[in-house]
Amino acid sequence: MICDTARGRSVVRINQDDALVIVDPQNDFMPGGALAVPGGDEIFPILSPLIRSFPLVVASQDWHPANHISFKEQGGPWPPHCVQRTKGAEFHPDLDQSRLSIIVRKGFDARHEQYSCFDETSKLSGMLKGRGVSRIFVVGVATDYCVRYSVHGALEGGLGVFVLTDAVRGVDVKPGDSERALAEMKAAGAVLITSSELAFL
């Protein structure tokens, strides 16, 4: 981390080889959606300036067939959500899509849950490294599921990972799940910061 002593605060300078990764900014995960994350839409005003400033912007999209294994009627834990080609699976209207360079869809195999956008099927780590990316800055929903698993997947893929704690929101099925997930990400090597600690050249 680079310390900006002139201003008396520590900042992380964003370089040309950094990428912003927005996890699942979709209607079904926002208030009013099929699997709403409390306060999920509060991240969008924070994301807009970041989307305009990062050299590379990636978004993931939960993209399930109607009979996905994670749905309750198939024995899974969740109500049906983010079904392919439905309104619920679309990006939220408050998301600025103008600078999305890469969109990764996940969970499209009916038989497999896929919380991480960095697992072996997505090939996202390799794709980013091929573009010279060495660090990613993760935002989105849900802290305790897809953000958590994506962060671990990216670390395993050899990327430096920062989590912007003011721009993630969790489900908290059990109270404290999001806090525990963040502590676990930090222990695994992710750096927890807020968007106000970023500096753009």
Q: Smallest distance from the beta carbon of 174 to Zn ion, in angstroms?
A: 19
197 touches Zn ion (CB under 5 A):
no
**CB-wise, 80 or 157, nearer to Zn ion?**
80
Q: Say what the alpha-carbon torsion angle 91, 92, 94, 97 is, to the nearest 10 degrees.
A: 0
The catalytically annotated residue of 18, 82, 144, 146 is: 146
Q: How far is the CB of 200 from Zn ion (least distance, A)?
A: 32
State yes or no: cis peptide before 36, omega within 30 of 0.
no
Segment (H or E) for 85: none
Residue 37 gets which letter from DSSP?
P
Q: Quick one: 141 or 164, whose CB is closer to Zn ion?
A: 141
Catalytic residue, candidates 28, 62, 82, 106? 106
Q: Which helix (H) or strand (E) holds 188?
A: helix 177-188
Q: Which residue is nearest to Zn ion (CB)?
A: 62
Single out the residue of 41, 62, 144, 197 in contact with Zn ion (rule: CB under 5 A). Answer: 62
Min separation Cβ 48 and Zn ion, Å: 25
Distance CA 62, CA 44 (A): 18
Coil, helix or strand at residue 190: coil
Q: How many binding residues for Zn ion (CB under 5 A)?
A: 2
Q: How far is the CB of 64 from Zn ion (least distance, A)?
A: 6
User: Is 106 an active-site residue?
Assistant: yes
Number of alpha carbons in the 13 Å side-chain half-sphere of residue 175: 0
Whose Cβ is closer to Zn ion: residue 105's or residue 129's? Answer: 105
Between CA 71 and CA 133 the distance in angstroms is 35
Binding string, 70-109, against Zn ion, x = CB under 5 A? -------------------------------------x--
Residue 28 contacts by C-beta under 8 Å, 6 or more apart in sequence?
34, 35, 36, 62, 81, 82, 88, 89
Nearer to Zn ion, 18 or 62 (CB): 62
Q: Catalytic residues, which ones?
A: 24, 106, 146
Residues that bind Zn ion in the complex, under the rule CB under 5 A: 62, 107
